[in-house]
Each structure stands twice: as structure tokens, then as C-alpha cells.
Chain A
Amino acid sequence: MFSLAGITDSIQEWLVATFGATGALIAQCIIVILLAIALFAALGLVLVLMERKVAARMQIRLGPNRVGPAGMFQTTADTLKLIMKEGLTPDGADKFLFNLAPFVVMIVAMLLLAPIAYAPGFQIWDINIGVLYITAISSLGVIGILMAGWASNNKYSLLGAMRSGAQIVSYELSAGLAILTIIVLTGDLQLSTIVESQRDGWWLFKGHIPAIIAFVIFIIAVTAETNRAPFDLAEAESELTAGFHTEYSGMKFALFFLAEYINIFIVCAIGATLFLGGWMPLHIGSWESFNHIMDYVPGVVWFFGKVFFLIFLIMWFRWTFPRLRVDQLLNLEWKYLLPISLINLLLVTVIAILGWHF
């Protein structure tokens, strides 16, 4: 049967046999870097196109349909344009910070790829504090945004960056508490163990209503954390032109744009791993034959299917809901999401202690 773990194992054996242990490690690092960059580029192109197509369909339009069949190469053409454009640095900007900021945002997104389990045994770095690592690293992205906003020497950029800071710091809380609900149920921070614990059913179904509430809160919080509508105050086009990346152009802008979509992918991958079982096929309790049929679909297909379902959900939000005001945004977090997720965490703890979950 098709398995990515088999391919990686045979590559590992061949590398060790050819270059020795140290050489193999270096070669593997290079392969992983290339794969990560390839995934980035592919995701950037696919997600931007998907966003535009989904947006068009929801607004009763056609969307891009001129470049290539059904507009397939539209984003490729856009990327080529961005690469060839001049990357302008404003005169009054803090040159060093201004040029550093897009890379900070990008590197944070890249670091988050490490602990995600794409398929059985196919994972860059299976650390035992995977979830803690993800929550810790994902909050660093705001530094890049603040850096960009401050260094641009532009009032719109600064306002956008400050809004983004307030927003990300607030919503980290409820995202973290929603993640904790699943940690309480699994009792482990390692992502591969969390996936394995869902062999007899996904946590979304096994954890009763508290898991569903946690899932909803998680989706809302990560939508806010990735600065997407209805929480896109940081780049609110109608108020702040483009927020923190107003002054950026060319490839530096493209990095911000790409990082936004990569971040969506990553938070959806985390959501899929915690609530929907990562690469684990749809298993229902002890229905052996049903579970066996589901096992024929490879894990990587399940993983990307779930992730793209969540991405679609977040795009659906974006093209349906109007943008919140700053006070409404903070109201929602501090008066609704945080108390609800605290009570929810208590409920889930009771369920876990009494062993009421399946």
C-alpha cells in the first residue's frame, strides 16, 4: 500500500549507505529545506487561486478565468509580476527593520511547518512538546507585523500594526484554551500521539459538546490570529489602505502575502490535527469493516482533505461576514470567547477525569 513513510525510510537508508551518518544528515536537511520551500510556493499559488475562486462563486461572479484553463495560471502570472517589480524602500523608513520584517514573518511561518504530521511517519520534527512549540512560535509572528508597521514611518501602517498586536495578543488566549481542551483529553503534547489517540474516532466526535464548542472557538480565534476578515482590522482596506504592509511593494510585499496564506494553512493543519484526527482516516469506534475500508485512502489525502475543508470554512467566513470594529473585536474576545472557553475547559476536565469520553 502507498505510504510516504516507506519512501522516506528507503531514502534514509540509501543516504546513510552512500554518505555516512553526518553526510546523510546534511543531505536530509537540504532535502527538507527544499521540500518546505516547494510546499510554500505550491501552497501560495493554490491558496490564492482558491481564495479568488471561492470569493467569486460566493459573490455570484466568475473569478479569474483568462490565464490558462479556467484561470489556473493567474496566480503564477501574478507572482512573476511581483518578482519583477521594484522593491521600494520609503525615504523616511527605518531601512534595516523595514527590510527585515517580511523575513521575520516568513521565518515564523516556516518554523511552524516543523512539527506538523502530514502522513503516518512523515513529519519533519516529532518533538514531545509539539503543541506548546506551535503556540509559542505562532505568537512571534506579531513581532514581524509590528516591525513592519513601525519601520514604515507611515501612520496607516503603524495603526494597522498596533491593531494587529492588540488582536493577536487577545485571541492567543482563547486559541490556547481551545487547544488545551484537547490536551486535557489526550494527556500529551506530542502531535503524533495526539493523532494516534484518535484511532477510534476524532476528538470532535469523541469529546461530546465541549469539544465542538472548543472547535468553534478555535476556528474563530485562529481567524482573528491570521488577521483575516471579519477580523482584518490590521489591513482594513477601506480605513488603512493596506495596514502594516502599505509601504511594501514587489517581492517584500509578496512575502507578507504568502505568509498570510501559509499561516492559514498552518492553523488549519493544527486544527485538523487536534480536532479532526490529522492524517487519521474516519474511524467509527469498533466498526472494523468500515474502518478497514477507510484505511485504503492514504493518510496524506485525509490530512490535506481536512486542512482544505477548514481553509474553505475560513474563506467562507471571510466572504460572508462584515468587518468588526476594534471595540467589538475586543468585546467578543474578553466578554464572550474567553469566559466560554474557560467554562468549557472546566467541563472537559470533568469529562476527562470521570472518563465520560469515548
Chain B
Amino acid sequence: MFIKEYISDVYKAAKSLLTGMKTTGYYFTHPKEIVTEQYPDNRDTLKMAERFRGEVIMPHDENNEHACTGCTACELACPNGTIKIITKFDISPEGKKKKALDTFVYHLELCTMCNLCVQACPTDAIKMGQNFEHSVFDRTKLLKTLNNEGSKVRDGVE
């Protein structure tokens, strides 16, 4: 019985080692599998992964309209105070006062790209951008305003 176990041990060990060598041997003989990106040489053709989280952005459409209602759900969701929403009151044509976004302040230097603000947003006004080249010589440049100059909330977004 002992001899049988011994031989099967040797056989199993050799088999598992050869399985490992087969995997590395496959990679060695298939250079197309190489995943290295030669940044910054390929800066023009660089394709980031779909789920890469580089910064928070607020998409605007062609009429300079965004989907942010100024509800501050993202500000509440942010674990480290990266987002600060300044709201104002718009007067609608009927004379009603309506809360709206004035400035979306985003501290990139504090952001950990945790994605909680994007998940919290009820109107999908913000999302994660792909840009990762954030280095600047002055940290005040990392303080960003996400909504464009003169933009307003899209009609129908509540």
C-alpha cells in the first residue's frame, strides 16, 4: 500500500509541475499575450480599460446642459469630502423657486476614485472619466469645477 501511495505521489507531483510548465511555456511561445503598455510611447493609441476610474467628470450635451439637479447626494456619499455642491434658486416662468446647481466643486487631490458618488447620483449626472494624467506643479490646479460656465440642468431631469 505504501509503495502504491509513494508512486502515485511522484506521478501527481510530476503531473502538476508539468501543468504549470505548460502554462508558462504557452506564454513564452505566444508573444501576442503580452499585456505591457509602453506608455508614454503609445500615448496616442493608448486604450484604457472600460472600468478604469481616473477622475469624476460631468458630461454636458451640445446645448451645454447637464443632468445635475443639485441634490447633494454625491456630497453626502463622499467619504472624504472631495465634493462640495453650491446650490442656487432658479425662478421658473411660473414664478416658483426651484433649487438648482450653481457650482460643482471637485477636489481631485482628495479623491480616492472609490466610485461612491457615481453610484449615489439619482440622475446619472456624473461618471468616472478615463484621463489619468493629473500631475501639475501647483495643487490649487487640482481644485476643479465640473459644471461648465453658463450651463444649466437639462429639461425634464428632476
Question: Nearest-CB distance from A301 to chain B (Å)?
Answer: 23
Query: B34 to A319, Cβ gap below 8 A?
Result: no
Query: A60 to B25, Cβ gap below 8 A?
Result: no
Query: B24 to A319, Cβ gap below 8 A?
Result: yes
| Residues of chain A in range 48-68 having any CB-CB distance to chain B below 8 Å | 54, 57-62, 65
A2 at the interface (CB under 8 A from B): no
B50 at the interface (CB under 8 A from A): no
A358 at the interface (CB under 8 A from B): no
| Residues of chain A in range 307-329 having any CB-CB distance to chain B below 8 Å | 316-317, 319-321
Q: Which residues from chain B contact A60 at a C-beta distance below 8 Å? A: 27, 33-36
A14 at the interface (CB under 8 A from B): no
With A58-B28, A60-B27, A336-B10: A316-B21 Cβ-Cβ less than 8 Å: yes
* Nearest residue, chain B, Cβ from A322: B20
* Nearest residue, chain B, Cβ from A319: B24
Task: Give A61 to B10 CA distance when docked, in angstroms.
Answer: 33
Considering residues B25, B27, B28, B31, which has the most beta carbons from chain A within 10 angstroms of its beta carbon?
B28
A residues contacting B by CB (< 8 A) are 54, 57-62, 65, 316-317, 319-321, 336, 340
B92 at the interface (CB under 8 A from A): no
| Residues of chain B in range 13-51 having any CB-CB distance to chain A below 8 Å | 17, 20-21, 23-25, 27-28, 31, 33-36, 38
Q: Which residues from chain B contact A61 at a C-beta distance below 8 Å? A: 34-36
Task: Give A11 to B17 CA distance when docked, in angstroms.
Answer: 49
* Nearest residue, chain A, Cβ from B21: A320
Task: Give A117 to B25 CA distance when docked, in angstroms.
Answer: 31
Q: Which residues from chain B contact A340 at a C-beta distance below 8 Å? A: 10
Main SS class of interface, B: helix
Query: B36 to A62, Cβ gap below 8 A?
Result: yes
12 A-B residue contacts at CB 8 Å? A57-B27, A58-B24, A58-B28, A60-B34, A61-B35, A62-B34, A65-B38, A316-B28, A320-B24, A321-B17, A336-B10, A340-B10
Q: Which residues from chain A contact B35 at a C-beta distance below 8 Å? A: 60-61
Q: Which residues from chain B contact A317 at a C-beta distance below 8 Å? A: 21
Task: Give A54 to B29 CA distance when docked, in angstroms.
Answer: 10
With A57-B31, A62-B38: A316-B24 Cβ-Cβ less than 8 Å: yes
Q: Which residues from chain A contact B24 at a C-beta distance below 8 Å? A: 58, 316, 319-320
Query: B27 to A321, Cβ gap below 8 A?
Result: no
Q: Which residues from chain A contact B38 at a C-beta distance below 8 Å? A: 62, 65
Question: Nearest-CB distance from A137 to chain B (Å)?
Answer: 30
* Nearest residue, chain B, Cβ from A339: B6
**Which listed residue (B20, B28, B36) contacts A54, Cβ 8 A?**
B28
Question: Nearest-CB distance from B26 to chain A (Å)?
Answer: 9
Q: Which residues from chain B contact A57 at a C-beta distance below 8 Å? A: 27-28, 31, 34
Query: A58 to B27, Cβ gap below 8 A?
Result: yes
Tell me how many residues of B have a C-beta within 8 Å of chain A: 15
Q: Which residues from chain A contact B31 at a C-beta distance below 8 Å? A: 57
Q: A61-B35, A320-B24 are in contact. List 17 more A-B contacts (CB 8 A).
A: A58-B25, A58-B28, A59-B27, A60-B27, A60-B33, A60-B34, A60-B36, A62-B36, A62-B38, A65-B38, A316-B24, A319-B24, A320-B17, A320-B21, A320-B23, A321-B17, A321-B20
Task: Give A57 to B28 CA distance when docked, in angstroms.
Answer: 5
Task: Give A65 to B36 CA distance when docked, in angstroms.
Answer: 12
Q: Which residues from chain B contact A59 at a C-beta distance below 8 Å? A: 27
Task: Give A316 to B22 CA distance when docked, in angstroms.
Answer: 10
Task: Give A58 to B21 CA distance when docked, in angstroms.
Answer: 10
Q: Which residues from chain A contact B34 at a C-beta distance below 8 Å? A: 57, 60-62
Task: Give A54 to B25 CA distance when docked, in angstroms.
Answer: 10
Question: Nearest-CB distance from A347 to chain B (Å)?
Answer: 15
Question: Nearest-CB distance from A71 to chain B (Å)?
Answer: 12
Query: B10 to A316, Cβ gap below 8 A?
Result: no
Q: Which residues from chain B contact A54 at a C-beta distance below 8 Å? A: 28
Question: Nearest-CB distance from B116 to chain A (Å)?
Answer: 33
Q: Which residues from chain B contact A319 at a C-beta distance below 8 Å? A: 24
Q: Which residues from chain B contact A316 at a C-beta distance below 8 Å? A: 21, 24-25, 28
Q: Which residues from chain A contact B28 at a C-beta distance below 8 Å? A: 54, 57-58, 316
* Nearest residue, chain A, Cβ from B17: A321
Query: B20 to A320, Cβ gap below 8 A?
Result: yes
Task: Give A54 to B31 CA distance when docked, in angstroms.
Answer: 11
* Nearest residue, chain A, Cβ from B14: A216
Question: Nearest-CB distance from B119 to chain A (Å)?
Answer: 32
Question: Nearest-CB distance from B33 to chain A (Å)?
Answer: 5
Question: Nearest-CB distance from A56 to chain B (Å)?
Answer: 8
